[in-house]
Amino acid sequence: MEQAITIGLDIAKHVFQAHGADAAGHALFRKRLTRTKLLGFLATQAPCVVAMEACAGSHYWGREIGKLGHTVRLIPTAVGARGKQASARLTDRHPQDRQQQLAILGVAKRGGARHHYTSK
């Protein structure tokens, strides 16, 4: 099985959505993970870019994921509003988790460094 180069992560209260993609952008996995299983799953992945929407909990998760050797990119919601149609889903009032994680992944793969903030 190929290794994911980018993982789009949509965080929520109890269930997270993870979408892994290779260099060409092809989906390698789509996983629904509980809070307790997230770090265990990411520990089994080779170090890669993990992108998530910047929100209150993302800084905590960014630090924890960074400890596993991954590069964390926090994407502000405003980027979604200025980005292409796929990333506009980030500002939707009632987003579908699966759509939102795909939008996060799309912004992470397409955007420049000016759109990404690394959690420290």
Q: What is the CATH number of the domain that holds 20?
A: 3.30.420.40
Exposed e or buried b per residue across 25-58, where buried means at least 16 C-beta atoms within 10 angstroms of its C-beta: eeeeeeeebeeeebeeebeebeebbbbbbbeeeb
pLDDT tens per residue, range 18-62: 999 998 888 899 999 999 999 999 999 999 999 988 888 899 999
Q: Is pTM, for the whole model, over 0.85?
A: no
- Give the residue numbers spanning the domain of 64: 6-115
Q: Report yes or no on 81 lying in a domain.
A: yes
Q: Report yes or no on 53 lying in a domain.
A: yes
Q: Report yes or no on 21 lying in a domain.
A: yes
Q: Report yes or no on 69 lying in a domain.
A: yes
Q: Report yes or no on 1 lying in a domain.
A: no
How many structural domains is the chain composed of? 1
